[in-house]
Structure 1
């Protein structure tokens, strides 16, 4: 059976399929972890420790000795993505109520959900799109998107916009595994290869554990709103990324469009941040469901939009030749 190949045909499948299975488990058998206990409970409830290992491996896999083109592309994508999310966060803090909207069509919407859905690019999706439609340098530009992984950027945006207050030690704790991995990976090439190769292996495990925090009934309640949020992520982040790629990174805009997605790892941030700040706990489930829907929507649409634009530019270039 070619299970892995079948899963990989789904955009972001290595993350989304285990997440869906975990959500099924939580929805229909929420007692399973405590009932079986031991290692099974650890696998079901181990989102944070599994993610901490993943952050470490992600950091270890980054090589500082990348080409200037790759770093310029990476830097443009990361800075633009974070800046847009920060501006949106400022707008949300000014015009949205604290916590989340409680009633009506927008029930469940919060600054936490909006910022989390917009501040991280799906690096794996980006790399796979650019490997098919872009240059080798553009495909390699996902290297710095790993910096966005984890709650650090979300914490920075929420803290700097006044949506939340984080003690300095929490910032250190959020980034420390990543930094240690980064240092070790750049001190020893063999360690970079060893730990870096494990980052993909960890994805299904934290996907399943994360799914066990999601009630599918919540996704059903926020489904249409989540779909609209996913479309908003593509439009709101995609337009600035498109022009940043053209004007700053020297591309034709395809790499910017390919980066206008919500990272699968972003689904973890509401829960992690709620563990740091208890007042976010009531809104974390709805925020997680909305972000998960954004991941699915952007994973399906971003490749189609990027492919259409890249093919258009290719035909245009060939016509001018």
Structure 2
């Protein structure tokens, strides 16, 4: 069974996520029995699993080889940040919070600023290098509410809560420290990533109601198409500027399951401004998560296969 799962692009994440999402859609309380069962299978342990992955992947960052990551992922992530924040602010200034075509500014911002680090990790385990895999923790910053918080902090004239960013960076920094003090820690923790990826896929799926996702309808599909159009720039930069095969750039064409919760988080921070848009934004984001999680791994696989044929 595992060998069959591995044949699917990002299968170690995607397959358990889709199975658990189907279960959650029809039996949302199946694992809500408390204790270990709920934490392992019921979605309650997601943050702990993500934290463990950030730490383990951090041990794989070799500071002697950090130039590779800074040259490739660093450049792409800076562009992602600039494009996400810039386009979101432009969208708000032109269309206002209600947005256009049923895509409110909250939904647009969350989707356009997101990267699914779980899909990234699973794909890099198949097609990338150890250093590509180790950068997981940094890509994770685009799955939480940090960047959308910056957007709405700027647009509203309010401040920025840096705690979500710090909560991601601290375990990653600890992992980097352990991995560079003694490389044996790297060989101890890095092999745990595939198993943790499967658990994370399951936990993220067990919180996705597929019926609600498809109820987002046309608006959810449109915002996903816009997301893909914008994200082509990362493949172009990866191939034509950085001189790679474009596979890492293509992994940025994903929307994180964790980003679905961003609508509620921002709605609680700005209830009078964003409260009425939370439900629609969450549904449209969830639609984008499902679509990109299925389509993008195939794009990455084709880019990687094309490069292998050329070489």
What's the TM-score once normalised by structure 1's chain length? 0.75
SS at match of 2:65: coil
Superposition deviation, residue 311 in structure 1: 7.4
SS at match of 1:116: coil
1:150-169 alpha-carbon deviations (Å, 9 max, x no partner): 24675442233235854233
1:171 equivalent to 2:165? Answer yes
Check the 8 A contact 2:227/2:253 in 1, yes or no: no
Counterparts of 2:308 and 2:70, CA distance in 1:
25
Counterparts of 1:47 and 1:275, CA distance in 2:
17
Check the 8 A contact 2:57/2:136 in 1, yes or no: yes
Counterparts of 1:209 and 1:118, CA distance in 2:
14
| Inter-CA distance 211–223: structure 2 relative to 1 (3 Å threshold) | farther
Counterparts of 2:113 and 2:238, CA distance in 1:
20
Q: Of 183, 188, 191, which residue of structure 2 is paired with 1:194?
A: 188
| Inter-CA distance 203–123: structure 2 relative to 1 (3 Å threshold) | closer
| Inter-CA distance 159–209: structure 2 relative to 1 (3 Å threshold) | same
Check the 8 A contact 1:261/1:295 in 2, yes or no: no
| Inter-CA distance 67–217: structure 2 relative to 1 (3 Å threshold) | closer
| Runs (5+) with no aligned partner, structure 2 | none
Check the 8 A contact 1:116/1:291 in 2, yes or no: no
Counterparts of 2:175 and 2:65, CA distance in 1:
17
In the alignment, what sits opposite 1:66? 65
1:254 equivalent to 2:245? Answer yes
Counterparts of 2:117 and 2:231, CA distance in 1:
9
| Runs (5+) with no aligned partner, structure 1 | 131-138, 316-321
Check the 8 A contact 1:96/1:111 in 2, yes or no: no
Counterparts of 1:299 and 1:258, CA distance in 2:
11
In the alignment, what sits opposite 1:33? 31
1:213 equivalent to 2:207? Answer yes
Superposition deviation, residue 95 in structure 1: 3.7
Superposition deviation, residue 123 in structure 1: 4.5
In the alignment, what sits opposite 2:39? 42
Counterparts of 2:54 and 2:124, CA distance in 1:
19
| Inter-CA distance 12–203: structure 2 relative to 1 (3 Å threshold) | same
Superposition deviation, residue 297 in structure 1: 1.6
1:1-321 residue pairs with structure 2 within 5 A? 3-34=1-32, 36-43=33-40, 44=42, 45-66=44-65, 68-69=67-68, 71-98=70-97, 106=103, 109-117=107-115, 122-126=120-124, 128-129=126-127, 139=129, 142=132, 145-151=135-141, 155-162=145-152, 166-222=160-216, 229-243=223-237, 245-247=239-241, 249=242, 251=243, 254-255=245-246, 258-262=248-252, 266-271=256-261, 274=264, 278=268, 282=279, 283-304=281-302, 307-308=305-306, 310=307, 314=310
Q: CA RMSD in A?
A: 3.6
Superposition deviation, residue 4 in structure 1: 0.8
SS at match of 1:33: coil
Check the 8 A contact 1:150/1:265 in 2, yes or no: no
Greater Cα offset, 194-203 or 232-241? 232-241
